[in-house]
Amino acid sequence: MKTTTALAWLGIALGASLAMGGITIAQAQPAYPAKAIRLIVPFPPGGATDVVARIVAASISDRMGQPIIIDNRVGAGGVIGTDAAAKAAPDGYTLLAVFDNFTTNPFLFRNVESDPVRDFTPIAQLVRSYQLLVVSPSLGVRRLEDFVTLAKTRGSAINFATAGPGTSSHLSMELLKATAGIEPTAIHFKGGNPATTALLGGQVDVMMVTTGTGIPHVRSGKLTALAISSPTRGALADLPTIAQTYPGFETQSWAGFVAPAGLPPEIVVRLNREIAAALALPEVRQKLEAQGYEPVGGTPEALGDLVRAESARWGKLIRERRITTE
């Protein structure tokens, strides 16, 4: 009996000792961040996502006292970099910059391993940009209603430029086609610049472009803006919204930061706070606005809601219209 009691007390003593040791180890862990942070950008250097990510990351790095290393993991429309981020440890030392195709790629590519809702922790939206429906002046229309009438008359003889299959410029026009009951033909280019150049040259008829890209050409008279995709009138106060003709219509390009699923809440809070502080800086806002983007910020929950809503909406459209990247 005495032996049993002695062993019991020994077990309690060892447990207490281990517990105390655990507290000591936990307390000894360095505060986050204790080393460089890797930011995966799943697109080439110089692209829209890369530029936005670098502007915001530079300010966060200064505030947190650790370098943020940009890792451009290019391929498959962003799928390669996104899947790599999903497999990383959820310790705050791997982040992912996402663009609007983050929510559409799983429906467009066959071999996507990650899910934007299940496999990632939202941190914050960075920016957004609504889109302009612009046409070549040679098309001879100045109102959305006139364009729709012309498109219904000419059918597939009307064509529209995209920055590539599955891009926001493509999907936004597919949404307009489904909404307005028109069927213009898609002409895919390898990027937004060659697509816009073709539109400016009159080689294609119409395109959905970000406001930052479209406004200078509209003001110079090289393109005619018919409507904007925002829910209310924005940068061009005299331009009607598409929603005025087709209630509920809204599209936007956007970018944000996410991390692998399971990121500790305290790290989410810290990163979200630093992003908000960066976006509040006048010099950061000016740089982003110069790229045609509106700084947004907001809570992790708001970005999560956006990701879920965009996944549901675009997934439905892609399935119904059988849109592919081929």
Write the pLDDT tens digit of every residue in 7-39. Answer: 444 444 444 444 445 444 445 567 999 999 999
Q: State pTM to two decimals.
A: 0.84
Q: pLDDT (tens digit, 9 = 90+) per residue, 60-115?
A: 999 999 999 999 998 888 899 999 999 999 999 999 999 999 999 999 988 889 99
Q: pLDDT (tens digit, 9 = 90+) per residue, 238-250?
A: 899 999 999 999 9
Q: Among 226, 245, 264, which residue terminates a domain?
A: 245
User: Is position 180 within any domain?
Assistant: yes
Looking at per-residue pLDDT, the higher value among 320 and 3 belongs to 320
> Does residue 261 sit in the same domain as residue 301?
yes
Whether the CB-CB separation of 111 and 79 falls below 8 Å is answered with yes
> Does residue 138 sit in the same domain as residue 222?
yes
User: Is position 14 within any domain?
Assistant: no
> Does residue 197 sit in the same domain as residue 58?
no
Whether the CB-CB separation of 311 and 318 falls below 8 Å is answered with no
Picking from 11-25, 105-119, 214-228, 308-322, which range would have the lowest pLDDT averaged per residue? 11-25
User: Is position 236 within any domain?
Assistant: yes
**What's the CATH code of the domain at 190?**
3.40.190.10
Domain region containing 267? 37-128+252-321
> Does residue 238 sit in the same domain as residue 144?
yes
- Report, as an integer, the average pLDDT of 162-168: 88
- Rounded to whole angstroms, how far apart are CA atoms 308 and 132? 24
Does residue 218 register a pLDDT over 70? Answer: yes
Does residue 234 register a pLDDT over 90? Answer: no
User: pLDDT-derived band of residue 2, with 50, 70 and 90 as boundaries?
Assistant: very low
Residue 18: the pLDDT is 43
The rounded mean pLDDT for the chain is 89
> Does residue 60 sit in the same domain as residue 192?
no
User: Is position 28 within any domain?
Assistant: no
> Does residue 59 sit in the same domain as residue 85?
yes
Domain count along the chain: 2
**What's the CATH code of the domain at 267?**
3.40.190.150
> Does residue 136 sit in the same domain as residue 228?
yes
> Does residue 274 sit in the same domain as residue 227?
no
- Report, as an integer, the average pLDDT of 265-284: 97
Q: Among 200, 225, 245, which residue terminates a domain?
A: 245
> Does residue 99 sit in the same domain as residue 143?
no
- Rounded to whole angstroms, how far apart are CA atoms 296 and 301? 14
User: Is position 25 within any domain?
Assistant: no
Give first-to-last CA distance, the chain, whole Å: 78
Residue 77: the pLDDT is 83
User: Is position 8 within any domain?
Assistant: no
User: Is position 20 within any domain?
Assistant: no
> Does residue 219 sit in the same domain as residue 185?
yes
User: pLDDT-derived band of residue 326, with 50, 70 and 90 as boundaries?
Assistant: low
> Does residue 164 sit in the same domain as residue 239?
yes
- Rounded to whole angstroms, how far apart are CA atoms 201 and 159? 14
Q: Among 223, 245, 267, which residue terminates a domain?
A: 245
User: Is position 66 within any domain?
Assistant: yes
Picking from 39-48, 277-286, 295-304, 311-320, which range would have the lowest pLDDT averaged per residue? 39-48
Burial of 5 (0-12, 13-18, 19+ CB in 10 A): exposed
Picking from 16-20, 46-50, 83-87, 153-157, which range would have the lowest pLDDT averaged per residue? 16-20
Picking from 26-30, 47-51, 161-165, 252-256, which range would have the lowest pLDDT averaged per residue? 26-30
- Rounded to whole angstroms, how far apart are CA atoms 204 and 93? 45
- Report, as an integer, the average pLDDT of 264-275: 98
> Does residue 134 sit in the same domain as residue 240?
yes
Residue 24: the pLDDT is 46
